[in-house]
Amino acid sequence: MKLPRIMLAGVSSGSGKTLLTCGLLEALKQKGYRAGAFKCGPDYIDPMFHRAVLETDSCNLDPWFCDGPMLRWLLGTKGSGADVCVLEGVMGYYDGLGGTSDRASAYEVARETNTPVILVVDARGMSKSLVPLVKGFADYRTDSGIVGVIFNRMNSHMYPLIRRMAEDELSGEGIRVLGYVPELSDTELPGRHLGLVLPEEVKNLKEKIQKLGAVMAETLDMEGILQAAESAASLEETLPDQVRLLRVLAEEEKRDRTPVRIGVAKDAAFCFLYPENLEVLAAFGAEPVFFSPLEDKTLPEGISGLLLCGGYPELHAGKLEGNAAMRAAVREALLQGMPCLAECGGFLYLQETLKTADGAGCQMAGVLKGEGFPAGRLVRFGYVRLSAEEENLYLSEGEEIRGHEFHYWDSTENGQVFAAHKASGRGSTRCMRQEKRILAGFPHLYYYSQPALAKRFIRLCREYEKERAYADSTDRRKRER
């Protein structure tokens, strides 16, 4: 399929990729284009900013979770209907596994999807040195895919000089200078320990992005950017093995296609969730019902399972503790056998207590023994290949699923059911707890990499649903007597 697309890639983290991606999306929207947004890598927060601009889901393109056909399938499926798609890179363009490989880098995504790349360079404090910097990135790989450069945080008076110098020396490389973005202090996005703050925490975010989009529409070569997007080769349309497997497994479940309602935590404390994971669950008959452990007092009616994703429970521990009714409802449901998938923040919520950054201990749901506490540093960071070390309800011994870890809080009881093998090959640790029908731990899982886990979760939910129906029927007959 023909899908106009470009990637904004950075020289390093902090080069302004997210801000410029949002600004470009807004500029395209202001000009009447339907834009699609994608994020390279496992990031949850940057896609939230894309969503805030476009008011539609952004999709992760992660080459550790997905092979080339799967990356192209996701891009083509999610991007269909868009006039142009914008992919935001991750870290530095060539930064991949373990910091020593370009495997799982933005470069790999660009290469596998044949996406033209525009390099975003933070120009603050630089002038002529910008040229060899861009040239070096373009020449580092013969298939770098870099077709243009945007200079970020550049003075408007300096830009014409740098542009002429860069065009003279880079035109032979096939690289166009596609504009600059001036330093705009009132459009900066603040950050915290897991990256940027959440979009809803940024005051006047929509107005900031609208202003940025208007500025970028004037300072960027929008026609040149669209030409670069149009130059993208057609996407190969091949059904990926991961999707084929999902469909085979879903076909086996057709004997029972009635929807099964799954409570999905979604609020400021629990917000790290891949839309693709919900798609996988839906293929097996799940119907997500969103609720807030912060605000709601009861679980949604008629649910037969719980999905507690990651987020920032440590920032809202006091309010989670104060919602005793919800903590009790979660505890009662899970102790009675309701299935639950809980990762990172959700895992912390299920434990007995959670310590905040200032050392205060807050009561959590108390379903699992253990205490969450601040480690004072990034803990077990990076991609992992999770293998079941023993037979359990979710994976057979030896089966694997892929995921990643990124957290500053740790637990006194991390579990032993899975082995988390570092993608870089540098060792492994034990993790994950499987108790009753609960599977909980710090790793964020990607269900397309092992749809059998999602299938078994939904089967357990159906078992629970039947048990509750039988118990309710028995109670009703007793009352009638």
Active site residues: 344
Q: Phi then psi for 444, rounded to 5 degrees?
A: -85, 125
CB 79 within 8 A of CB 3: yes
The predicted-structure confidence for 345-379, as pLDDT tens digits, reads as follows: 999 999 999 999 999 999 999 999 999 999 999 88
Residue 61, pLDDT score: 98
Contact 178, 228 (CB under 8 A): yes
Q: 400-412 in b/e burial notation, b at 16+ Cβ within 10 A?
A: ebbbbbbbbbbbe
151 sits in which H/E element: strand 146-152
Q: Is 230 left (phi over 0), alpha (psi -120 to 50) or beta?
A: alpha
Q: What tens digit of pLDDT does each residue of 59-104 get? A: 999 999 999 999 999 999 999 999 999 999 999 999 999 888 999 9
101: its two tokens: 């490989």
CA distances from 411 to 47, 316, 344 (A): 28, 17, 10
Cα dihedral 417→423→424→426 (10° resolution):
0
H or E element at residue 422: strand 418-422
Look at residue 400 and give its three-state secondary structure. Answer: strand
**For residue 395, what pLDDT is reported?**
96
CA distance 277 to 455: 12
Question: Residue 478 has what pLDDT?
Answer: 76
Helices first, then strands: H and E counts in the chain: 14, 24
Burial of 13 (0-12, 13-18, 19+ CB in 10 A): exposed
Predicted local distance difference test score (pLDDT) of residue 190: 81
pLDDT computed for residue 14 by the predictor: 87
State yes or no: pLDDT of 255 exceeds 80.
no
Residue range 143-193, pLDDT digits in tens: 999 999 999 999 999 999 999 999 999 988 899 999 999 988 777 788 776
Q: Is the pLDDT of residue 140 over 80?
A: yes
**298: CB partners within 8 A, 6+ apart:** 325, 326, 329
Is pLDDT at 318 greater than 90 in this prediction? yes
Characterize 259-284 residue by residue with b for buried, 16 or more Cβ atoms within 10 angstroms of its Cβ, and e for exposed.
ebbbbbbbbbbbbbbbebbbebbbbb
Q: Looking at the predicted structure, is the pLDDT value of residue 19 above 80?
A: yes
CA distance 138 to 172: 11
**Does residue 110 surpass a pLDDT of 90?**
yes
Mean pLDDT of 265-269: 97
Residue 348 and residue 8: Cα distance in Å, rounded? 35
According to the model, what pLDDT value does residue 402 have? 98
Q: What is the value of pTM for the model shown?
A: 0.95
Determine the pLDDT at residue 327: 98
Half-sphere exposure of 345 (CA within 13 A, CB side): 25
Q: pLDDT tens digits for 422-479?
A: 998 888 999 999 999 999 999 999 999 999 999 999 999 999 999 998 887 777 777 7
